[in-house]
């Protein structure tokens, strides 16, 4: 069964609104989670590293104020796409592991469509 749960799986929102995506580790604690973005027919690109109890670390070129990450507990990280625009439409996927010796588990992803 899934060990990382991501919700929602699909969301359609209007331009200018904000969307929150949740990533939960179901049977392990994850001090670190990772958020990736995947454009159609392209590879996964790391957006940010979510650290429990501290600020996220963003990759170069990723807007911190647009993609807000909160990792308030050891089992939950959230990604909020603020003031979404059509170019933010993408597949967002999170990952986590219990520790660095464990396999990395991915959520099922969230397909965001901004109209």
Sites of contact with other proteins (CB under 8 A): 32-34, 42-46, 49, 91, 93, 95-97, 100, 103-109, 111
CB of 86 to other proteins, least distance (A): 20
Q: Using the minimum distance from each CB to other proteins, give the nearer residue, 67 or 109.
A: 109
Report, in Å, the least distance between residue 46 CB and other proteins.
6
CB 28, CB 100: distance < 8 Å: no
d(CA 79, CA 114): 16
CA distances from 24 to 16, 43, 62, 90 (A): 26, 23, 22, 20
Taking the least distance from each CB to other proteins, the nearer of 12 and 15 is 12
Q: Kindly state the smallest distance separating residue 35's Cβ from other proteins, in Å.
A: 10
Burial environment of residue 35 by CB neighbours within 10 A (0 to 12, 13 to 18, 19 or more): buried
Smaller CB distance to other proteins: residue 25 or 78?
A: 25
């Amino acid at each position: 069964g899934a060990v990382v749960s991501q919700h929602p799986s699909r969301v359609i929102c209007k331009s200018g609104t904000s969307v929150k995506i949740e990533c939960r580790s179901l049977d392990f604690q994850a001090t670190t989670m990772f958020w990736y973005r995947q454009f159609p027919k392209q590879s996964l690109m790391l957006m940010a590293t979510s650290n429990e109890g501290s600020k996220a670390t963003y990759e170069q070129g990723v807007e911190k104020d647009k993609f807000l990450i909160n990792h308030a507990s050891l089992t939950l990280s959230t990604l909020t796409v603020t003031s979404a625009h059509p170019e933010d439409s993408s597949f967002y996927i999170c990952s986590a592991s219990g520790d660095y010796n464990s396999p990395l588990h991915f959520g099922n992803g969230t397909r965001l469509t901004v109209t």
